[in-house]
Amino acid sequence: MNITESIKYVGVNDHNIDLFEGQYIVPNGMAYNSYVIFGEKIAVMDTVDADFGEQWIENIKRVLNGKTPNYLIVQHMEPDHSSNINLFADTFKDAKIVASKKAFQMMKNFYGNEFLERQIVVGEGDTLDLGGRTLTFVTAPMVHWPEVIVTYDSLDKVLFSADGFGKFGALDVEEDWACEARRYYIGIVGKYGAQVQALLKKASALEIEKICPLHGPVLTENLGYYLNLYNIWSSYGVESEGVLIAYTSVYGNTKKAVMLLADELKALGCPKVVVNDLARCDMAEAVEDAFRYGKLVLATTTYNGDIFPFMREFIEHLTERNFQNRKVGFVENGSWAPMATKVMSEMMSKCKNLEYTETNVKILSAMTEENIAEIKALAKEII
């Protein structure tokens, strides 16, 4: 695949993987992207996952057509991008390794080699002259690891964005970008909104016509759409008007209350109501929905003097990722000693800028007429 006449794609598709980072379901696999950049000298941008080293080397040799690379640029040290550094160095023995100082420290920790005689350390604003093409490096610490750099090619106006603008899914599968990019961003990068905002500010000073991430497709059209979504996500803004109801239910009574609430919201004209059973749904999808919509209702049972485990896990995912700027309501169920609202509100107190509904629903085993009235009042308040 040609990105431009002088930038070639040499990445791989992985359809063997079931869980990315050991936790994210990836039904359409993953892409590990790598690029070859041609000037008078040649640079290879990042490696791929360990399982695809030989295929990656063959991809490089194919586009080099007998030429030899001068540099390997390492933007990010996660093993799905760095596992084949040693293989590259052994294959192309005269090539230099270009990375941040922190990346070389990690290289030694991961692979036992920091390439002292071959390393070129780069930082903010440093450049690499390929002859007729200059690459400029921009530091992106904690997007989403501390050693990360991104790279700007001023000739073709390409931003090599490391894990930024990535998504789940292999490149030989067509699917909506935003859905899997959102789940990827919220799950993996979501904690670091301030750092992403800082990188977006740096990127705004560059003339960018293409974005080449380390996962997912190369972005070549309507870049404003992708940049706008990243701005919303990283500033914890509301992407879509709507309500997420996230719940757990043991014997079905809490579920009945949730379904009534969903019906009431729809009847009142709520543009979007999403209901997630946390015991059965993809947890990452539920977390994605919480960050997508502006309003959230948490509904669960008291369980061992605490809350149901799936709800506790869900809230921990939210607080870990700096959930904020939302309206939140609670529905609790407790047969003899309801504690769920107290526990949930204490957990959510870690979040910034949350507005809580005045109406909360307290069910003692099964719904009563009073509970039905509370649910209707809660729906009106949320709307």
pLDDT above 90 for 133: yes
**What's the chain's average pLDDT?**
96
Tell me the torsion sign for CA atoms 42, 220, 285, 146: positive
pLDDT tens for each residue of 270-299: 999 999 999 999 999 999 999 999 999 999
Position 199 scores a pLDDT of 95
Q: Are 344 and 311 in contact (CB under 8 A)?
A: yes
What are the structural domain ranges in the chain?
Answer: 2-234, 240-382
pLDDT at 230: 97
Contact 188, 175 (CB under 8 A): no
- pLDDT value for 336: 84
Considering the chain, what percentage of its residues have pLDDT values greater than 70? 100
- Specify the pLDDT at position 337: 85
pLDDT at position 252 = 95
* Region 240-382: CATH code: 3.40.50.360
- Segment 154-164 shows an average pLDDT of 96
Per residue in 65-114, pLDDT (tens digit) is: 999 999 999 999 999 999 999 999 999 999 999 999 999 999 999 999 99
Assign a CATH topology to domain 2-234.
Metallo-beta-lactamase; Chain A (3.60.15)
Q: Give just the sign of the alpha carbon dihedral 230, 232, 236, 239.
A: negative
Q: Residue 240 has what pLDDT?
A: 96
Q: What is the pTM of this model?
A: 0.92
pLDDT at 220: 95
Single out the residue of 117, 45, 116, 28 nearest to residue 82, CA to CA. 45
Cβ(135)–Cβ(43) below 8 Å = yes
Q: Which residues contact 373 (CB under 8 A, 6 or more apart)?
A: none
Output the pLDDT for position 375. 97
